[in-house]
Chains A and B, each alone.
Chain A
């Protein structure tokens, strides 16, 4: 896939220029760094540029220079014509560097659509527009206007921001980090992160995938591809636009919705993507993956020459969910053999401030051999007698031979620079703080779990889709999009237990309904305009006889008229009073990028206040449903605390799976909520007490 895009024999630059400072010149010069490449400048105003014969049009290029890739740098309005000519000339790959497309406005968007349509017509693969270009270190291609060529390496990087490409390349050049491929995604008019994930999966030169994204083009497809790719290669993504101000900037910049951060967290988690919080963290993690084997557990040994640093690192490990290793007795004995008596022989191992490279080597050998150690963090502080480069040399060699990951924090400034240089010369990262090293060690440990996890497909449940379809079709007939209690029966089609209830339009009907059902009952206002019934006095509990019903009905109508005079009230619903259960909420919001985002949390009136909820993108598997339930902080309240009986967790999981199926089967459901779902003690099931959903028009 895209083989000739990244490893072309012949590359044309449409809009090549001889003028210094022009993009058309920078691209040409970058390409010319590869002497084996045939380079064809296209410019109707020149016969030759930088010694290369120049052609007025791509269609004039002779057959013996048959172009595999065209890099287009002409102004936006001429790009469609250039693509059209590429199509006619049989060029299969283009990179449109030119800006002035959708990001610039209406006319630019029209031009972009024209480019897309031409690419479809001719079967051309296009990167961009509005991008920096691409680099492939294995083929020696630099089809970009970046200031420098990347070093060879095993990290593939893609970025939705051209500037972040140049920043990363510049940083990498200074410390010698290499890349396999470097792709500036631009506007992602045709090729997007999904296409490149597939390409990186098959690319032998790529071991680690890193990306800066402002959004994904097709969330469900992204999850599907990344789930597969992440089993063979780690994917580390920094996604911007997490906050309200950030998402506003994304919308303004790209003309897309940034998407909810909860959806990205859930989608990335399900896809096996490691999410970095910053560009620095993405690069930190990428470098760790680039050089380290994976830890087979979360037990970390710390080797330090400074007690304080060791303690800080131990704290950071604990906070990240990593364990400090308990050494085998033989390890402690080995450490005692050579370390001074004042040293610490337990984790964190303190070799003391005057330790040289030999003591570090001894300590590292001892903890590496310990079966209880899965990864090591080496800390070095510069004392007057510390041989920083010597220790770095020793540690680097150990890292190269080790089957366990070792990350370094040579802490300090000018006095550790020589050590850092040594590590860089081996391609080994030095983390400027132990917290950064711990964060990357944690990423390695998490990826080990991701790699090992079993792929469980969501099970297709046997539901009465026809009944639900007819229910939704009837609901869609009216103009109202939001439906409430009156639609409780839709759940029955998906075999979700619902509370015994009756609808009454008047007080006499309400009394009759309650008499028929048997007391005690709950009365709820029926109004599609009211989502928070409690706030407007729209719920009355534990009504025990007809007098209660009359009082509740009259006061409820008065309250609702007072708080929401414009609400449409269609009557009340009487429900059989259910007690002895715990209230949970199951919801769904259709996310612009990822689709149906399921939500689970403790329910009732406190849900919006507690915000203790978990998310997953539907459809979900049984183990994902179980994880949703167990990952909320208040899970112990459902599982039972202090001898209390557990709630029927399996029934919650079943309901989650059914809701997952329902919202997957019916894309017209935009929002959905069962709140509360009353969960009874273990073995006694659950029952939906209230519902609310919004349908697409």
Chain B
């Protein structure tokens, strides 16, 4: 049985997507895949039990049947932190080992997802390198390449890991297209010269950044006023309609696949959004629009959703949602798999983990 710990220096770097995508690819190659996220930090209540949101999503999409309590045996609660700081023994290592032995049973490979950043969890002895050591597994680093300073982060991560042998290699994720040449021509050769194997470069992808309108409705606790059958569309950007209508039309036209946030009393902005064929209208402040506007939205098949929060509050929620959405839908999983197949050296990853796959 082989295993690998997927780690990164920062949150929202794409660890879950990589676990999910590689898991799917390895399943397609006939391998029995297991998964665990030892320390759950995105806690949700599923049928009366606390579990981690990432774990729950991956468990479902990969069809893993192991009980959630073993997939994520430790929950990052306030009391866990307090006890760690007070020196209260919680037998975390035993729980980790027990869970690992359950989820690895009858599996060919286990993907272990780190929690947050690479050094996170040091206070209770469960940072990513520590977990790797305890489970005797190697690490695969995923770094979101938002700027050239990502190179600094990678080199720092290497120091945290300490032992070069522990790291199998690196995936550069969400690389902006305009930096592609620089990354491929300069950054990758530099890292390889430093002894870091780069398994591939994945570019920013609008589908993965995007969020379903239905997720927005759920997250904002919104009321759908028209076009409830059009919520299965992806939105890539949010725009705020707070300007005069002439500027609004230009602004909306330039960003395809957008959702527009505006006040319920801004009929001009609402009509500009409908005319510009945006994907969805979010009306804030619980102010219902006029019937005529709703009728136009319905004719244009554009969902109009009503939220109680004010515009600022709604913007904050959207900021957290777009680009940070968890992969819950098949369409996004399919896209992840496609990207990984196209941009990663999968056989090299398999070989570094110690499994064999066909191509």
Contacts and interface: CB of A to CB of B under 8 A. Distances in A.
Given A254-B292, A505-B181, A592-B275, A109 B299 contact: yes
Contacts of A252: 267, 289-290, 292-293
Interface stretch (A67-75, A226-234, A241-249, A622-630): A241-249
Nearest to B245: A247
Given A252-B290, A252-B293, A505-B181, A106 B245 contact: no
A534 interface: no
Contacts of A260: 246
Contacts of A106: 226, 291, 294-295, 298
Given A592-B275, A694-B254, A103 B291 contact: yes
B270 to A, nearest CB: 7
Interface in B229-272: 244-246, 249-250, 253-256, 265-268, 270-272
Contact of A109 (B249, B270, B295): B295
B292 A103 contact: yes
A72 to B, nearest CB: 20
A570 B292 CA distance: 44
B292 A257 contact: no
Q: Which label, helix, strand, loop or mixed, suits the secondary structure of the A interface?
A: mixed
B329 interface: no
Interface residues on A, range: 35 or more
A239 interface: no
A250 B292 CA distance: 10
Nearest to B206: A479
Contacts of A108: 291, 295
Contact of B294 (A105, A256, A568, A670): A105
Contacts of B267: 248-249, 251-252
A341 interface: no
Contacts, number: 99
B49 interface: no
Contact of B268 (A257, A479, A481): A257
B296 interface: yes
Interface in A20-38: none
A569 interface: yes
A697 B277 CA distance: 10
A249 B266 CA distance: 9
A589 B250 contact: yes
A671 B249 CA distance: 10
A248 B178 contact: no
B291 A256 contact: no
A244 B253 CA distance: 19
A570 to B, nearest CB: 6
B254 A481 contact: yes
Contacts of B265: 248
Nearest to B177: A568
Given A244-B245, A479-B256, A481-B256, A256 B295 contact: no
B176 interface: yes
Interface in B59-94: none
B268 A251 contact: yes
Nearest to B299: A109
A104 B299 CA distance: 14
Contact of B253 (A104, A256, A569, A671): A671
Interface string B116-151: 000000000000000000000000000000000000
Chain B: interface size category: 20 to 34
B250 A257 contact: no
Contact of B270 (A251, A258, A481, A568): A251
Nearest to A478: B177
A253 interface: yes
Contacts of B250: 589, 671, 694
B178 A257 contact: no
Given A251-B270, A256-B271, A479-B256, A244 B244 contact: yes
Given A481-B253, A694-B253, A255 B272 contact: no
A482 interface: yes
A526 to B, nearest CB: 10
B224 to A, nearest CB: 12
Contacts of A481: 253-256
Interface string A479-516: 10110000000000000000000000100000000000
Contacts of A253: 290, 292
A257 B275 contact: yes
Contacts of B245: 244, 247-248, 257-258
Interface string A677-697: 000000000000000001011
A102 interface: yes
A254 B292 CA distance: 6
B241 to A, nearest CB: 12
Contact of B256 (A113, A248, A697): A697
Contacts of A592: 249, 275
Contact of B291 (A104, A247, A258, A670): A104
Contacts of B271: 251, 255-257
B57 to A, nearest CB: 27
Nearest to B255: A481
A570 B176 CA distance: 11
A109 B295 CA distance: 6
Contacts of B249: 257, 589, 592
Interface in A458-484: 479, 481-482
B266 to A, nearest CB: 7
Interface in A397-411: none
Contacts of B296: 102, 109, 255-256
Contacts of A104: 291-292, 295
A666 to B, nearest CB: 15
Contacts of A254: 292
Contacts of A105: 291-292, 294-295
Interface string A577-594: 000000000000100100
Contacts of A113: 299
A88 B267 CA distance: 40
Contacts of B275: 257, 592
A106 B290 CA distance: 10
A89 to B, nearest CB: 29
A672 to B, nearest CB: 12
Contacts of B178: 568-570
Contacts of A505: 181
Contact of A251 (B177, B253, B254, B293): B293
Nearest to B277: A697
A254 B275 CA distance: 14
Contacts of B277: 697
Contacts of B292: 102-105, 251-256
B56 to A, nearest CB: 32
A670 B253 contact: yes
Given A256-B271, A481-B256, A592-B249, A248 B298 contact: no
Interface string B157-200: 00000000000000000001110010000000000000000000
Interface in A547-568: 568
A251 B275 CA distance: 11
Interface of B: 176-178, 181, 206, 226, 244-246, 249-250, 253-256, 265-268, 270-272, 275, 277, 289-296, 298-299
23 contacts: A102-B295, A102-B296, A103-B291, A106-B295, A108-B291, A109-B296, A109-B298, A109-B299, A247-B245, A248-B245, A248-B265, A248-B267, A249-B267, A250-B268, A251-B271, A251-B290, A252-B290, A255-B290, A256-B292, A479-B256, A570-B178, A694-B254, A697-B277
Given A109-B296, A694-B253, 5 more contacts: A254-B292, A256-B292, A257-B272, A260-B246, A697-B256
**Interchain residue pairs A-B with the least CB separation, the first 8:** A105-B291, A255-B292, A109-B295, A252-B267, A251-B267, A255-B296, A251-B271, A248-B268
